[in-house]
Structure 1
Amino acid sequence: MRRLGSWFVLLCFASISCAQTPMWIWNSNSAADKETVYARKEFKLAGPVKEATLYATADNHISATFNGKPVIQHDDWASWGKANVTGLIRDKDALVAVTGKNDSGAAAMLVKLEVVYKDGKKQTFVSDASWTVSKEAAPGWDRTDFAADWKKATVLGKLGMQPWGNVGTATVAAAPGEATPVENIKSLDGFVVERLYSVPLGEEGSWVSMTVDPKGRLICSDQYGGLFRVTPGADADSTKIEKLSVPIGDAQGLLCAYDALYVSVNGGAAQGSGFYKVTDTNGDDQYDKVELLKKFNGGGEHGPHAIRLGPDGMLYVIAGNHTDIPQGSEVGAPHKNWAEDLLLPRNPDGNGHATGRMAPAGWIARTDKDGKQWQLLCAGFRNPYDIAFNADGELFTYDADMEWDTGAPWYRPTRVNHAVSAAEFGWRYGTGKWPDYYVDSVGSVVDIGLGSPTGIEMGLGAKFPAKYQTALYINDWTYGVIYAVHMQPQGATYTATFEKFITGRPLPVTDICVNPKDGALYFTIGGRKTQSGLYRVTYNGPESTAPVATTEGEEGRAARALRRELEKLHTTNPEGALGKIWPSLASNDRAIRYAARVALENQDLASWKNKALAETNVNATIQALTALCRTGDKADQAAVLAKLNTLPYDQMSEEQILDALRVYQLAYIRLGGKQNDAANEAVIALLNPRFPGDSEKVNRELLNLLVYLEAPGIVEKGMKQLFAGQTQQEQMFYAFVLRNAEKGWNMDQRKAYFSWMNLAESKYRGGNSFKKFVMQIRNDASQKLAKSDLAELKEIMEGAQTEEVANLETTRQFIHNWQVDDLVDMLPQVESGRNFEKGRIAFEAAQCTKCHRYAGQGGGTGPDLTGVGNRFAPLYVLEAMVVPSKVVSDQYVNTIFQTDSGDILVGRIISETDDAYQIRTGPFAKELTVVKKDEVEGMKHSPQSEMPNGLLNTLTQEEILDLIAYLRCGGNADDAAFKK
């Protein structure tokens, strides 16, 4: 629970000794469902300033300028945005101008300026009723000579009070010492939320973990204290709470099983972090015996977490990346042979977070009921808090992002992961995190977005409608959301969609469970010594709550069964194992291929190495060579590289090319580096002409390899890609990799390269470490310069001179993994008050122009969108962008080809002759791929749209609404949608 501290930061500021207390302010005419508010205040300082610090926050986005200079961009109402503004002081003038935006209500703001004068005196200026506000910005509003007649701000309350407490009628401010009232909590139709208990903070702490005992009672733990037992009643008054006297607590994992309470201690309780068994030895219904079964080395927010009982009778434990794996758990385990596996040097996090925490990182292990035998199941997580099994016995978790990485190419959003045997999820510290598509990694089931994962639970046993009995419920602490994730089988694994099930303000959800005794869903809020509460969710709508089947349906069952058979070979090597493994290496199912490759690595290398080098099927070759790289030695490198060079790249899918490029990397990482010049030159001769290509993912992996191999001309080509990047993440990737190139630069390229650093540092936006990452790139690159070059580049490197190097409209970063449910209620707002120009910009930012013509301009690979508004309602337009595969026109359907050699190609048939098809393998492909008819074993239509998913994820809610209005207007800027 890495961000449980943000509430604490906000509340503690109230105790700082200062001249004035900040007040929440808002626009006096404001009561909007969503809005932007501008506020300003000029201060006169008392003398020469030693240091000045500005703090600002808003519900829920704020940007602030100080004396006209942008200094703060902040998106978390529960913590301060902070900037040192000492260098911006002009004489005695201090002008603070802030913009507050709220995606779902009225915008309220909180500002504080702390000044330390050179004579040692201190002064604090704060937001209060003397500020002026407006709902519209006027020219020069952030300058000192601005003289418009703005209204005085309205004060909501002091620091520490939720800004929405006095706004509108939808929310009610919680009384001091009480958990969030249910009036502030919203659930899906038909579901009812009850508050059963408001935890006395000073006496019973803040509850972060929970389990159900055999009698249907709840065992809950204070994060920094003891255990409590809750007997749910018909209401809050009849609910019984008892403090357990057993000497253990600080639990972030609890499980009742085998007539015992298992406890995952994350802290100093009992004997410190570890796995404990707690029992009742005399039958008096009170726990009285505590046994340490396994000591854990690690703790804190990324320490040991949840425990679950598996369908195999084993106990499963999960921990964050600051916790070492249980001693001995790697012996004979599915997950083994891990390494960092980075081809090029990484940079650590700019603020030092997790630096030096190496693979295997966050992990899941399993043990017997006595905690004696441990096996490491899978690893490579950042900080997942909980795990849950579905009806078919498949295990899932919800892993954390690193929000300081936002805006950078290595940022990975929070995501649901399918925790299969031997899975590697690729978390590496700093910039080293693996992309999902690596052949030796397991991707996500679904990406969620920014957040802080805590408890998760399957809906099995809940008296809910069928859809919600099979859902996975995941808690996001930071944004106060419980999501319902709906799984769909996809081969031997799953894909998913998600929706907001419960939201609230504040609702720092910590843990969640289904009680099989009453069929209700229970959740707790709290964490980090904040106000805690216990809630119950029931259903009283019209749909049936009859229990659904206790196992998954037929779809995917055979594939999952095959995967599990292969997974048995992850720890065994019986006679005939190769006969079971080898056919699955060629599977079209990535999960099957992965399981088969891991099984192959567990067999005797001598029995299959020659077979791997003789294989002809593309998928099987790639998988077998992956295994050879991970289990062979440096003597195998030349053979692996030569075999990779024979693959038919012109006929391979993007997925296969990415897999092959990763194997090239592994051959150098694992098998001895650049040991053979002739072999390296052959690789360069094959790959260099392919860069750049049509796929951004392929281009990235090609650049990694070609920079590593010092390919001729790679700097020039890489620089062109940098400046053609469509987003700041793309540009930053090329800058990051090119910092490793020592040869092939001219001075003009050097000047442009370091000018990009100045652009990124001053204009681009990102998380807390973004600018420090840019500084690290600059420092790394500068260390490769000769002294004479350093002197010539001095002014540019110091920011005194710069060159225009990139389009500034690329300053976009991941905002949210938008779903239809996030936006459907806002669709009436596309009918009026929209902005034509912002819609046009959003159209370009979402890369729509690459494939679609609109009002006479754009690409031609997709349908012309000019007439969309005449045919489709806003909901259809939204669905087409968010879920492009929901409806695919016959004119734009892709075809899946299987060749007689077992290869799979996917693309749209552009033309056909008597003996061949010409297909486009991607929407941005510049060249067509030829598929000979006599080599086609089978073909069928693909259900997947050629249009990529996630194109809206760098847009704000307002930009998406402007985009829908823009698409529906047919290019007419005078359309009614743009009238106020």
Structure 2
Amino acid sequence: MKRITLLLLSIISVLFYSCNQDSDNETPIIEKVTIDDITLPRGFVISKLYEPTDNEQGSWVSIAKDDKGNFYASDQYGSIYKSRLTKSGEKDVLEVQKLDVNVGLAQGLLYHNNELFALVNSNDDKIQSGLYKIIDSNGDGELDSVKTLKTVNGNGEHGPHNIVLAPDGQSMFMVFGNHTDIPSDVHGRVPEVWDEDNLLPVIKDPSGHANSRKAPGGWVAQTDFEGKNWTLVTVGTRNTFDIAFNRDNELFGFDSDMEYDLGMPWYRPIRLNHMTSGADFGWRTGTGKFKDFYPDNLSGIANLGQGSPTGLLDGRGLKFPAYYQKGLYLSDWSYGTMYHAKLTPNGSSFDAEVTEFISGVPLPITNGVVGDDGAFYFLTGGRRLESALYRVTYEGDLPSEALELKERSKGKKQRRLRQELEALHVAPSADKVSFIVKNLDHDDRAIRFSARVALEHLDYKHWKDEIKNDNSAEATVGLSLAIARHGDDATRIEALNALVEMDWQSLEESKKLDFIRGIDLLLLRMEGSLPNDLQGKIKEIFLPAYLASSEAVNMELCKILSFLQVEEIVELTLHEMETNTSTEGMKEIYLSGDISNRSEQYGKDVENMLANMPNQRNISYAMSLSYLQKGWSTSTRERYFKWFGDALQKAGGKQYLNFIRAIQKTALENVPEKEQDYLSELTEIAAARRPDYMKDVKQPQGPGIDWTVELLMSAYEKNFENANFENGKNMFKASLCISCHSMNGEGGSTGPELTTIGSRFTVGAIGEAIINPSGTIGDRYQYSNYHMKNGSVITGIEVDEDDENIEVSISAFAAGVTTKVRKDRLESVELSKVSPMPAGLANRLNEQEITDLIAYMLSGGNKNKMKK
């Protein structure tokens, strides 16, 4: 009997352990500890193992491991290094050697089957960006020979990034930022009919960022180990640095925001994306970014506020408590934070519970890897910052053995259905049309999206008549989206007629928005003119619903009605803008997850915006009205242009004011010329606010010094205990830093925002940036040299372009100073290697003054954070 009891207990124990492995009941550790200025959950231990910069080995941004206990890491601007942890007494020592190969600059590394793959991001003439393989050519155990697998056109901060092994070990996946062109021979799971797809013209970023980049944005590709067969997997991201597969073998990416868009209706926070086959995540330049709810793009599964996403890693193999093995680790470079995302199946996709795992100041995390010992190894560095390799282990009381994590049963049926549809993305079958159409109205958004993509991979002739059948509302919308992208005008009109005959008002909210987007996309993809009777029908169904629906529906209706030049909306919209000024609910995307607990790290731009929030809904209305030419009276125009003055009183991202003025400029183009000056003056009177940053500034006493980085660091070390915050703030202005850079919500926007510089830069790195500004130039601020046929050269950054001219901003010190480069007189264009920031701006400062300046910058403009 005793033996039977023991056997039963053993079986129960095994069953309990088995169930526990698939349980999602574990919770994160709330209590935190701080070790060497790095905060992490209690029970975890972190140690710094190595500092490449101390050994003149650059700043490491990518890491991989082999099956022999070795690590490989690459300097962002230099070589690849092989390393191994050894013991020297009780101390762990990392032995490092540089690989003797003519490849480096790798933002992605993958070791597989005795070969090291490197995804190179290069602006060096000696090596092109692309995928390379490093092999052991003579069998001596050392990687010594390089094979070029494929080169790509793209580099810099939005160039080629990381590379990961497919779950089955038979291929690899790579991710590229939105400044990397998709090679002409790379095709696959995404139907190649992408476009800007905005009903109203897009306003480009006034700073010039990404203005020349068009759809489809950032992308993911899959290839074999010889790099011969490439498959395009997803598109539409902004600048995803890393991708990872979770325990269910589903692909995820961590995408960046555009912080200059803060406060605008098109702003997107950093977000975790479930990167399913054929997906488009809707990045478009300027104001053109797709709304999350548009059915022709997929939204993120978690928004994390503001930041700079870098490494992404699945927790399998870690000897951590179960909760920390079952999710993804998301690294934010700007704010020195690593998050943990617990993923719970929800239909064929997932929900994410995001909590903070590690944070430090400075802690510019780049990438990480799970070690053979079950520890988490991660790098800090990038952009020539001081770099380090860290190790995180768990030494607490909770069980921490590595679990064997398998695909979960929850959601498996839905995932299998989506994957069945995804198989049709690479092997289309006309016999599957009924199956595909059936799933166009599935209640799972990712399945609906995959079904439409499967349809679009089929020859149009196999499904063009499906719109005539008696389909559900959602299926009709799905067919309409596909017809808009693939059909001709006759079929588009047929689809529009099918939609306008529907009782769209009876649909639930999300389906109303899908319906509107269906009409939107059909209208903008029309190559000819819209029949008057159909235009009248669209007006008849939408005008009565305008401003009687939800905010999201109203904003979308305003776009379509403005496009159709429905003059009745002028008075209605202006009254709404004047009376509905509440910003309730608009702050949530800036305070999502744990963001509300650490908003100080975001600097004064976000704080000022939250305190003086622009009304994003009314900005959307104002944009739509700017294209409306009919229905205006003298009084309505006056009210409209006074609104711009009120909007200019609000706070947002660095380009907030410039975007508002750009919308105003568009509106003025639809105003009779004789009224333009008067209406502009109304805006200026209403705005009536001009910051004078240089008021009462005291000039440096000197004597000046021809500063070097070494002299600056020595001066700071000697004088920082006596640093004066107010004098540092004054030197920030006197040295003209404030003309281009903002600190704590005050200053210019033609250079990087500096409030959080102390969270990721050391004194030496700040000194290098001041003294040698051309050493590292961010993509967003890099000027180009426009060589003209007459021998002259115009230097600046593109802010707009049309068929005849390129508009170029030519002054870093004054936004809005532009010139036009005529394309017919242009010989060539090259990126300038000289920063728009002049060297020597700090040479008027003496030792104490430059110390005060550095201390002020390290504090982020916050006197309470002055380091003593």
Q: State the TM-score, normalizing by the size of structure 2.
A: 0.70
Match of 1:720 among 570, 575, 599: 575
| Alignment CA distance shift 1:748-1:512 (3 Å) | same
1:220 matched to 2:73? The reply is yes
Match of 2:503 among 625, 648, 659: 648
Offset, 1:335 = 4.2
1:800 matched to 2:685? The reply is yes
In structure 1, the partner of 2:173 is: 316
1:587 matched to 2:442? The reply is yes
In structure 2, the partner of 1:775 is: 661
In structure 1, the partner of 2:289 is: 433
In structure 2, the partner of 1:352 is: 208
Match of 2:518 among 663, 671, 679: 663
Question: In 2, Cα distance between the equivalents of 1:590 and 1:189?
Answer: 39
| Alignment CA distance shift 1:438-1:655 (3 Å) | same
Give CA-to-partner distance per residue, 1:732-780, whole Å, 9 cap, x none: 111111111111112222112111211222x211111111101111111
Question: In 2, Cα distance between the equivalents of 1:658 and 1:549?
Answer: 43
Offset, 1:630 = 1.4
Question: In 2, Cα distance between the equivalents of 1:795 and 1:430?
Answer: 27
Offset, 1:333 = 3.8
Question: In 2, Cα distance between the equivalents of 1:715 and 1:457?
Answer: 51
| Alignment CA distance shift 1:791-1:518 (3 Å) | closer
Offset, 1:255 = 0.4
Q: Give SS of 2:137's match.
A: coil
Q: Give SS of 1:232's match.
A: strand
Higher mean C-alpha deviation, range 626-635 or range 783-792: 783-792
Amino acid at match of 2:184: Q
Offset, 1:452 = 0.2
Higher mean C-alpha deviation, range 747-756 or range 521-530: 747-756
In structure 1, the partner of 2:636 is: 749
Give CA-to-partner distance per residue, 1:358-389, whole Å, 9 cap, x none: 11110001111100111111100100100000
Matched-pair identity in %? 40
1:541 matched to 2:396? The reply is yes
In structure 1, the partner of 2:547 is: 692
Q: Report if aligned partners of 1:196, 1:236 keep a CA contact under 8 Å in 2.
A: no
Offset, 1:202 = 6.5
Question: In 2, Cα distance between the equivalents of 1:489 and 1:777?
Answer: 42
In structure 2, the partner of 1:134 is: none
In structure 2, the partner of 1:734 is: 621
1:387 matched to 2:243? The reply is yes
Q: Give SS of 2:415's match.
A: helix
Offset, 1:268 = 4.5
Q: Report if aligned partners of 1:334, 1:571 keep a CA contact under 8 Å in 2.
A: no
Offset, 1:188 = 1.0
More helix by share: 2
Offset, 1:579 = 3.2
Q: Give SS of 2:558's match.
A: helix
Higher mean C-alpha deviation, range 670-679 or range 647-656: 670-679
Question: In 1, Cα distance between the equivalents of 2:288 and 2:328?
Answer: 30
Output aligned runs, 1:587-626, within 5 Å. 587-626=442-481
Q: Report if aligned partners of 1:248, 1:290 keep a CA contact under 8 Å in 2.
A: yes
In structure 2, the partner of 1:378 is: 234
In structure 2, the partner of 1:137 is: none
Question: In 1, Cα distance between the equivalents of 2:263 and 2:340?
Answer: 27
In structure 1, the partner of 2:415 is: 560
Offset, 1:570 = 1.2
1:230 matched to 2:87? The reply is no
1:257 matched to 2:143? The reply is no
Q: State the TM-score, normalizing by the size of structure 1.
A: 0.62
| Alignment CA distance shift 1:541-1:573 (3 Å) | same
| Alignment CA distance shift 1:233-1:726 (3 Å) | farther
Question: In 2, Cα distance between the equivalents of 1:237 and 1:570?
Answer: 49
Question: In 2, Cα distance between the equivalents of 1:545 and 1:647?
Answer: 57
| Alignment CA distance shift 1:506-1:236 (3 Å) | farther
| Alignment CA distance shift 1:787-1:261 (3 Å) | same
In structure 1, the partner of 2:276 is: 420
Question: In 2, Cα distance between the equivalents of 1:429 and 1:655?
Answer: 25
Question: In 1, Cα distance between the equivalents of 2:55 and 2:373?
Answer: 31
| Alignment CA distance shift 1:795-1:520 (3 Å) | same
Q: Report if aligned partners of 2:129, 2:152 keep a CA contact under 8 Å in 1.
A: yes
Offset, 1:608 = 2.2
Give CA-to-partner distance per residue, 1:693-725, whole Å, 9 cap, x none: 331111111111111011231111222232214
Offset, 1:549 = 4.1
In structure 2, the partner of 1:49 is: none
Q: Report if aligned partners of 1:368, 1:374 keep a CA contact under 8 Å in 2.
A: yes
In structure 2, the partner of 1:122 is: none
In structure 2, the partner of 1:92 is: none
Amino acid at match of 1:701: E
Question: In 2, Cα distance between the equivalents of 1:802 and 1:776?
Answer: 15
Match of 1:337 among 193, 197, 211: 193
Q: Report if aligned partners of 2:440, 2:448 keep a CA contact under 8 Å in 1.
A: yes
Q: Report if aligned partners of 2:467, 2:495 keep a CA contact under 8 Å in 1.
A: no
In structure 1, the partner of 2:103 is: 248
Amino acid at match of 1:783: E
In structure 2, the partner of 1:915 is: none
Q: Report if aligned partners of 1:707, 1:740 keep a CA contact under 8 Å in 2.
A: yes
Amino acid at match of 1:733: S
Q: Report if aligned partners of 1:294, 1:326 keep a CA contact under 8 Å in 2.
A: no
Q: Report if aligned partners of 1:338, 1:359 keep a CA contact under 8 Å in 2.
A: yes
Q: Give SS of 2:660's match.
A: helix
Q: Report if aligned partners of 1:668, 1:674 keep a CA contact under 8 Å in 2.
A: no
Q: Report if aligned partners of 1:335, 1:421 keep a CA contact under 8 Å in 2.
A: no
Q: Report if aligned partners of 1:641, 1:667 keep a CA contact under 8 Å in 2.
A: yes
In structure 1, the partner of 2:346 is: 490
Q: Give SS of 1:777's match.
A: helix
Amino acid at match of 1:287: L
| Alignment CA distance shift 1:643-1:680 (3 Å) | same
Offset, 1:651 = 2.2
Q: Report if aligned partners of 2:45, 2:395 keep a CA contact under 8 Å in 1.
A: yes
Amino acid at match of 2:359: T
Amino acid at match of 1:197: Y
Q: Give SS of 1:569's match.
A: helix
Question: In 2, Cα distance between the equivalents of 1:413 and 1:259?
Answer: 39
Question: In 2, Cα distance between the equivalents of 1:615 and 1:190?
Answer: 61
In structure 2, the partner of 1:829 is: none
Aligned residues: 621
Offset, 1:414 = 0.3
Amino acid at match of 1:760: A
Amino acid at match of 1:569: L
Amino acid at match of 2:527: G
More strand by share: 1
Q: Give SS of 1:347's match.
A: coil
1:458 matched to 2:345? The reply is no
Output aligned runs, 1:124-523, within 5 Å. 182-201=35-54, 203-233=56-86, 237-268=92-123, 271-312=127-168, 313-330=170-187, 332-515=188-371, 517-523=372-378
Give CA-to-partner distance per residue, 1:62-113, whole Å, 9 cap, x none: xxxxxxxxxxxxxxxxxxxxxxxxxxxxxxxxxxxxxxxxxxxxxxxxxxxx
In structure 2, the partner of 1:868 is: none
Question: In 1, Cα distance between the equivalents of 2:688 and 2:631?
Answer: 20
Question: In 2, Cα distance between the equivalents of 1:240 and 1:606?
Answer: 63
Q: Report if aligned partners of 2:191, 2:456 keep a CA contact under 8 Å in 1.
A: no
* Higher RCO structure, 1 or 2 (CA under 8 Å, sep 6+): 2
Q: Report if aligned partners of 1:363, 1:376 keep a CA contact under 8 Å in 2.
A: yes
Q: Give SS of 2:154's match.
A: coil
Higher mean C-alpha deviation, range 626-635 or range 714-723: 714-723
In structure 2, list runs of 5 or more residues that go unmatched. Answer: 1-32, 584-614, 690-868
In structure 1, list runs of 5 or more residues that go unmatched. Answer: 1-169, 172-181, 805-980
Question: In 1, Cα distance between the equivalents of 2:442 and 2:177?
Answer: 33
